[in-house]
Structure 1
C-alpha cells in the first residue's frame, strides 16, 4: 500500500470518528503564554476535505482570531463522544479567512444567532489544517465493558477494554 493510500485511509478513519461530533474544544496559546480552550461547532458537513481542513465560523473579536493573528497558529482540537467511547485529539495549523464564498458554503441557520447575516463584516472562518491526530476508540460494547468491571471487582484482576489507540500523521 502506498503512503498516499495510507494517509487517505487514516483521514477517512479520523472522519468516521468525528463526523457525528459537532462540538469540540479548541485550544490555543495566548499572548501571556497561557493555554486557553473554548467550545466551537464544527461546520464540516460531509467529510474532511482533501486538505484535511476543519471549519468554524467565529467573530473577528474571538480570542482564537486574536491568537492566530498574533502568530500563535498552532491549535488543538478535542472531540469526544462518551456514549460511544470515542476520543480524538487533533493538532492543527490555524488560519483565518474572510473568503465570502467559503462563508456562503458554511453558513447555516445557527450562524444567524451569532451574526447579522452572511455579509456581517465581523464574520471570520477558522480554517484548521490537521497536522496530526490521536484517537482512542473503545471497541468493546457496553455489556462487555460492564462485565469486565464487575469481574475485576470480584477477582481483583483488572482487564483492559478492547480498544483502538493510534497516532496519525496527516
Structure 2
C-alpha cells in the first residue's frame, strides 16, 4: 500500500459517519450510516435493519458510493465499490455496540451487515490550521487562483 492509500484509510477511519449512496430506480439516494473501517481488508461495513430499503436497492445494484466529510479538519473522502450482504451472527456480534441497541431495538437477530469491497477512492486532505485556511480562502477571493486546501488524490484500491 502506498502512502496515499494509507492516508485515505486514515482519513475515513477518523470520521464517525458517512453518507451511503445507492440507486433506487431512477433516483440516487443517500443516507447517513456509521462505518466500520477495516484498512487491512480494504472493506467498510455497516450494520442495518434486515428490512432496510438499502438492502433491496443493493441487491438490485451492488454499486455503492460512500462520502465522508470532516468539516472541522477540512478532510473529505469518497469511495466506490461493490456491496455484499451477510447475516453472519459472529460478524454482527463483533460489530454490535451501544449505538446498535438504540437504532436496532429488535436486537442482533433483526440486522444484517453490508460490506463494501472498495475499488476506487478519492480524498482531499487539509494540511493547514484554521488560520492558514482562512488566509488561503481570503487570498483566493482577492486573487486569480483558487485556495490551496491541501492534497487531493484519486486511488485504485
Fold match, TM over 0.5? yes
Unmatched 5+ stretches in structure 2: none
Aligned length, in residue pairs:
156
Provide the rounded CA distance (Å) in 2 between the counterparts of 1:96 and 1:21: 23
Note if contact 1:11-1:48 (Cα within 8 Å) is conserved in structure 2. Answer: no
Provide the rounded CA distance (Å) in 1 between the counterparts of 2:92 and 2:28: 28
Aligned match of 2:26 in 33, 49, 57? 33
What is aligned with 2:79? 90
Provide the rounded CA distance (Å) in 2 between the counterparts of 1:156 and 1:48: 40
What is aligned with 2:97? 108
**Other structure's SS at 1:116 match:** coil
What is aligned with 1:54? 44
Residues 89-115 of structure 1: per-residue CA shift (max 9 Å, x gap): 000211111011111110101111113
Residues 34-82 of structure 1: per-residue CA shift (max 9 Å, x gap): 11111111133xx4232x1111000111121001222x00000000001
Q: Displacement of 1:12 after TM fit?
A: 2.0
TM-score (norm 2): 0.89
Query: Superposed, which structure 2 residues align to 1:3-152 within 5 Å?
Result: 5-6=1-2, 9-30=3-24, 32-44=25-37, 47-50=38-41, 52-70=42-60, 72-113=61-102, 114-118=104-108, 120=109, 122-152=110-140
- Greater radius of gyration (CA): 1
TM-score (norm 1): 0.83
